[in-house]
Structure 1
């Protein structure tokens, strides 16, 4: 029975992309939160003071929301603009050969996977910050 929406299968896991979606935004959120906390300003613009965990969760939401939007816009641009091969570099002489469009979309995480992962972490951060209050 053919399905209306076939689910593609990943042929390989791209560790570098998985790190850029899952761990690097978290490290950036911790670095930004600790830098701002070191300056002594940890109140929101609305005048509400957050706890330390709430303050960190605000930065986690910000970083993962930015990653989700970047991957979502990448997926939209890929489908509307005819797709450029991934891996293009500013230095065309030292750049590795770009992967093909099919190979890019067969790896996990692709743009849609990255947007879903980052969106899920953002949602979990929103839920956690409402519980921390």
Structure 2
């Protein structure tokens, strides 16, 4: 599974750091939207880097956005994180509307770094920079 995120967004980078600490099975790989791999994955999902209002979860040939991506990511982390599914019955237009509002204002609410998030050495292999020929994760 690949998570495409905004490496200049402080809340997005904090989310990735949260996942790196809790993904004990090392299920997730990461691609910043600023990388060629991230841009290519966004394009495959019909998304543009400009005005991006979601993180993208790519699972094989399927991709997920907004709260659907968040729920699937938290589910992979196991208990207690997968309990987030209790919020699933809340209508998607409400969940995703709140998500998109936060995403649209993420720099103002949480800040922005002029430098992209850089992982520590032991996690670097989990980050994609260039787009491989095929993605099977």
Larger Rg: 1
What interval of TM-score do these two structures reach, taking the shorter chain for normalisation? Answer: under 0.3
TM-score calculated relative to the size of structure 2:
0.26
More strand by share: 2
